[in-house]
Structure 1
Amino acid sequence: MKKTILSIAFLPFLFSCSNSNSETEEQSILLSEAKNAVAVIDAKSGSKTTGKVDFMESDGMVKITAKIEGLTPGSHAIHIHEKGDCSAADGKSAGGHWNPTNKAHGKWGISPFHVGDIGNLEVGEDSIGTLSLKTDKWCISCNDANKDITGKAIIIHEGPDDFSSQPSGAAGPRIGCGEIVESTVI
């Protein structure tokens, strides 16, 4: 009789462990469905610019989070450029803005604009600029030439994007560059 009571008392524990494992498995599946990419920003054109830009794709949306350091106070343009090549000292090896749909340069979200026209980082006295946005216009390693950001570069410019000068917003020299690569950890 004692064995039966002990077994019955043990059942709720088994079910609670089972539910806990099920929830953990669901969370793991959700995390495995998310894709991540990162661009580590290195200084260019004699600047002290460094930082990191993280990308996370989930449910058809890509979230970008940028934290860039070593900038002068004010506005600095941030764009996606067409080539993931940051080998040149001035960052020009990254090519022009990523513009697979051949749109005029402009301000993000106000037509027309390149899908690489992210905008400006606002930098305070601490020399740090941050930016965060979500979009369905990009994807990570999806093999869609009009949306796939993998293998492109993030460029930080010395000045602000004026959102109208063609083809790049008259933002000045490239002071930071990082290739966008798929990542397993964000």
Structure 2
Amino acid sequence: MVKGNDRLAGYACVVLAVAGGVLLGGCTSFMGQQDKRAAAQLQPTVGNQVRGTVSFVERSDGVQVSYNLAGLPPDSDHALQIHERGDCNAVDASSAGPVFAPAAARMKPGTRVEGDLGNIRADSNGVATGFIVAPDVSLDGIRSVIQRAVLVHHDPIDPYADPQRGTGTALACGVIRAQ
């Protein structure tokens, strides 16, 4: 009988070891690889009322940029852009510098630069929510948007305009910080 109990105890140990491995493996797949994240709190420039958040999550196909903004003119289009410097101290956000463009060869009219995220649309209440996938930026390395500024401009992006300049006056500005 002792041998039978030893065998049963041996089986129980194997079952427990396998179950423990499955559970730990399940935790690893559940937790997954942590995504790189960043966010910016946008504050209005002088004379404007736009505020909200813009968050950044690095994915395999680019950076997902989610925005939730209020205080925009109703039923209007605006540019969402990353600028070179993480400085929103100037009353008009000009301290943020030019639009982010690490690939200098692409700095000619009619060429989209990395910092041009796209246009956003405010609804009838002046609220804009949604997301954009930006394949040309990242959250680390030379194309990182961390410690740069994200601005909402009054005018939408014009694909034929000078890519080194913003698109109209800045309505809001926020510094992008890692989370």
TM range, normalised to the smaller chain?
A: 0.7 to 0.9
Higher Cα Rg, which structure: 2
* Matching residue within 136, 151, 156 for 1:155: 151
Query: For residue 52 of structure 1, what is the aligned residue in structure 2?
Result: 53
Q: What is the CA distance between 1:152 and its match in structure 2?
A: 1.1
Q: What is the CA distance between 1:68 and its match in structure 2?
A: 1.2
Q: What is the CA distance between 1:99 and its match in structure 2?
A: 1.8
Tell me the C-alpha RMSD between the 2 structures: 2.5
Aligned partners of 1:56 and 1:170: how far apart in 2?
A: 24
Q: Confirm or deny that 1:20 pairs with 2:23.
A: yes
Query: For residue 132 of structure 1, what is the aligned residue in structure 2?
Result: 131
Query: For residue 42 of structure 2, what is the aligned residue in structure 1?
Result: 41
Q: What is the CA distance between 1:171 and its match in structure 2?
A: 3.0
Q: Please give the secondary structure, in 1, of the residue aligned with 2:81.
A: strand
Query: For residue 70 of structure 2, what is the aligned residue in structure 1?
Result: 69
Query: For residue 79 of structure 1, what is the aligned residue in structure 2?
Result: 81
What letter is aligned with 1:81?
A: H
Q: What is the CA distance between 1:27 and its match in structure 2?
A: 3.8
Q: TM-score, normalised by structure 2?
A: 0.82
* Matching residue within 97, 102, 105 for 1:95: 97
**Kept after mapping to 1: 8 A contact 2:113/2:163:** no
What letter is aligned with 2:121?
A: E
Aligned partners of 2:33 and 2:167: how far apart in 1?
A: 39
Query: For residue 179 of structure 1, what is the aligned residue in structure 2?
Result: 175
Change (3 A) 1:21 1:7: same
Query: For residue 119 of structure 2, what is the aligned residue in structure 1?
Result: 120
Q: TM-score, normalised by structure 1?
A: 0.79
Q: What is the CA distance between 1:169 and its match in structure 2?
A: 7.0
CA displacement 1:65-96 (0-9 Å, x = unmatched): 11111111210111111110011111111011
CA displacement 1:121-152 (0-9 Å, x = unmatched): 1111121112422233111122x2xx111121
**Kept after mapping to 1: 8 A contact 2:98/2:165:** no
Aligned partners of 1:161 and 1:61: how far apart in 2?
A: 20
Q: Please give the secondary structure, in 1, of the residue aligned with 2:28.
A: helix
**Kept after mapping to 1: 8 A contact 2:44/2:51:** yes
Q: Percent identity?
A: 25
Unaligned 5+ runs, structure 2: none
What letter is aligned with 2:139?
A: I
